[in-house]
Structure 1
Amino acid sequence: MSQELCEMSLRQTQELLKLTDEALQEICCKRFTGEELSVKALQMVLKGKGKRGPASVFVAFNGKGDSVLRGRVFHLRDGEIAERSEEIAVNTLTDYATFAGIIDTHADVVVSNWSDSCESVENYQDFFPNAVKAFVGDVIRNFVTYRISGEMPGVIIAFNYPGRATDYDADVLRGLAVVIGSVFTISDQMRETEKAFIYTIEALARACEAAEEDTGRHIIRVNRYAGALAANMGLPADYVEVIAYSAQMHDVGKIKVPAAILLKESPLDKQELDIIKMHPVYGEQILGDSPRLRIAREIAISHHENWDGSGYPNGLRGEDIPLSGRIVKLADVYDALRSRRSYKPPLSHAEAIGVFRDGDHRINPRNHFDPSLLTLFFKIEHMFEKIYDSFAGDNL
């Protein structure tokens, strides 16, 4: 092996280490998927622009308790992911067992070239699963494979290195496999942490709604309405996801408002109104300054602001109101109209739509809502009706 190829292998390994370090540094503030970082790692390995990297890479993992490897083949051209297959399933007891017939099944990393194993390159093709061969899309001349062990066992197989596959290629693939195995393990752990985080938010939101009727269902519906509005605005998927669980925190400040005021059946006096109008401020205070709760905090403080500046607590106007607050305001008002409260009966969907068109004694749609959001709402109002009906419970 030439000195140039040795140095290339070293550079590729160093880039993998750098990626791992960056991922660990960002783990507290960056949300990612295992595949996202795996793709980055694959790109780094193949920065040789075809001079040393393989043409295709198969990355697959075992499902828990079964004998099937599930993964994708990635086409890599000039250090970029050119194409990826649909999910491919390889049975380790049949397809992979045949594949393993040309390698030492006890080794973690194996280098194979057709000329070392078969009389012809055509015969070499018989050892590979059809689904993998179909997407590789070329005669397979060599490969390097590495078995990934640990909590997420799997395999990474690189096909068609220029010339012969070598032990130096195996060293790089070993590093790539370690990175990818670690990334999937970390991303699984992060998903579990994310679930715990969202469960905690939901528990707090339910506690804040406990004094009012329709406990729990109201916050679920508002989440769904807000997510539907955000998604149909074409906003980024990450934003849609965050607002779809942060919306439920809109009334978190009510935990500091006396239940006697929240459940009062007669009209509130001025002092009581002043107290209840403080719940956005209380909500902002309760949510604190965590970056993860930024959207929830925006929603809590701004979901009672009006487009014309007549809302509370800060009298914000127009686009000075955070987008998240404008979205949740509309979602919250729709659900409030549809829901039974101590001071009013529930409205039907048609009656609620009438209020959004023509207003009532409390709501002036053109002054209170973002005009573009109001237009969108009328386009997707059937979705709001379906969401409400799906989570209405005994509220009707």
Structure 2
Amino acid sequence: MPLELCQLALRQTLDLITLTDDTLRDLTRRKFSSDELYNEVLGKLLGGNGRRGPSGILIANEGPDATCCNGQVFHLRDERLLERSEAISIEPGSSYAGSLLLVEGGAEVVALNWNDVCANIGEFQSFFHPKVVEAMGEPILNFVSCRISGDVKGVIEAFNYQGRVTEYDADVLRSAAVMIGSLLTVSNGMRETEHAFTYTIQALARACEAAEPDTGRHIVRVNRYAGALAANMGFNNEFVNDMSISAQMHDVGKIRIPTEILLKEGRLTPREMKLIRQHPAYGSEIIGDSPRLRIAREIALSHHENWDGTGYPKRLRGERIPISGRIVKVADVYDALRSRRSYKGAMTHEEALHVFRNGDDRINPAAHFDPAVLAAFFRIEHMFEMIFDSSILKLGYDRAVTPADSK
């Protein structure tokens, strides 16, 4: 094999190693789907920037009964965009190239050129499922097939390398198959761990529900408000997802506040107010120093800070307040205005909007809220109303909020 082709195969293998390393480093923060992983792997294999590669790749996964594989053919367009065919169901025996791998005791990887086994190119097409040939849009001249092992079993087949397919191409595809199988297995395990992690957060966030009525509904709504605000403000998906999970932890420190204070009707005494204002610090202590809970800890500690520096517990001002806390402050205040408490009635959406525009005896919008977050709130205030109303209906809350409730 010419040195140039060896170097190209090595470059592809190194690209796959880099992708593996990056993915493993990110596993605790990123739960990727099989499609996302396929797109990244195929981007390293399919043509592009002069590197040797196939013109199309089929990835097919075994169905639950292991009697057939369901897959798609991928192509690279404009050196960047991966396009895929319609779903193809490959039954046993309908594809010689796949059957070589899927039969018990079959080979792990197979590489063939048409003139190694057939008298003509037309005869070679019968080695493949007809829909695969159709999806390729050109006669298949060579291929490499490799088995994918792990939780998501199946095959990966690469078609039409330039010139003859070689053992180096087979090695690169084998590397890709091993990476796909291994990383999807690890990611599935991480996804299960993440579900357990999210459940634990929800359980902790609901710890004070017994003390304050409607807390369970309140924390679900604040999660949704905060995620909607973050998305509307243009933050990336990772931050939006973090906000949509972490916002519910904002009041976890209240589990250290005596119930008689939380449920007290009327205004609190200065001593009681001083104790209530400790709940952000308590929440930060409860959440702890785990990097995975950094956003939750920020929110718990800073969601009562004011833009002008008059909030608590640290009297932070402006952009010294973490953006997560600034977002949750708006979400929390809206839901507090809409909700009935032991010391106050509930407002309608229109009444809450009036407070956000003009303030009241406790809230000064210009002084208390980040202007950018407040502007985002007014852009999507209808979503806040829908989130609140859908929560009430879904959870069977049978008291309609009326203007009289705010008196």
TM-score (norm 2): 0.86
CA distance in 2, matches of 1:264, 1:206: 20
Residue 403 of structure 2 is matched in structure 1 by: none
Kept in 2: contact 1:67–1:92 (CA 8 A): no
CA distance in 1, matches of 2:98, 2:227: 52
What do the CA deviations read for 1:137-178 (whole angstroms, capped 9, x no partner)?
433211111121232111111111111223332222112211
- 1:385 deviates by 0.9
Identity %: 56
2:90 matches 1:92: yes
What do the CA deviations read for 1:173-223 (whole angstroms, capped 9, x no partner)?
112211111111111111111111111100000113331011311110000
- 1:59 deviates by 2.4
CA distance in 2, matches of 1:130, 1:236: 42
Label 1:70 to 1:385 Cα distance change in 2 as closer, same or farther (>3 A).
farther
CA distance in 2, matches of 1:115, 1:26: 44
Residue 364 of structure 2 is matched in structure 1 by: 364
What secondary structure, in the 3-state scheme, does the structure 2 residue paired with 1:59 have? strand
2:222 matches 1:251: no
Which range moved further: 383-392 or 113-122?
113-122
CA distance in 1, matches of 2:55, 2:361: 68
Kept in 2: contact 1:58–1:157 (CA 8 A): yes
What secondary structure, in the 3-state scheme, does the structure 2 residue paired with 1:98 have? coil
What secondary structure, in the 3-state scheme, does the structure 2 residue paired with 1:97 have? coil
- 1:133 deviates by 4.0
Residue 308 of structure 1 is matched in structure 2 by: 308
CA distance in 1, matches of 2:322, 2:182: 38
CA distance in 2, matches of 1:306, 1:15: 48
- 1:255 deviates by 1.1
Residue 58 of structure 2 is matched in structure 1 by: 58
Residue identity matched to 1:84:
E
TM-score (norm 1): 0.89
Residue 157 of structure 2 is matched in structure 1 by: 157
Gaps of 5+ in 1: none
- 1:5 deviates by 4.5
Kept in 1: contact 2:299–2:324 (CA 8 A): yes
Residue 375 of structure 1 is matched in structure 2 by: 375
Kept in 2: contact 1:213–1:340 (CA 8 A): no
Label 1:387 to 1:28 Cα distance change in 2 as closer, same or farther (>3 A).
closer
Kept in 2: contact 1:39–1:81 (CA 8 A): no
What do the CA deviations read for 1:63-84 (whole angstroms, capped 9, x no partner)?
4346553444343589x64423
Gaps of 5+ in 2: 400-407
Q: How many residue pairs were aligned?
A: 392
What do the CA deviations read for 1:122-147 (whole angstroms, capped 9, x no partner)?
44345544554455343321111112
Label 1:299 to 1:183 Cα distance change in 2 as closer, same or farther (>3 A).
same
2:263 matches 1:263: yes
The 4+ residue runs of structure 1 with deviation greater than 6 A are none
Kept in 1: contact 2:281–2:301 (CA 8 A): yes
Label 1:83 to 1:304 Cα distance change in 2 as closer, same or farther (>3 A).
same
CA distance in 2, matches of 1:101, 1:11: 26
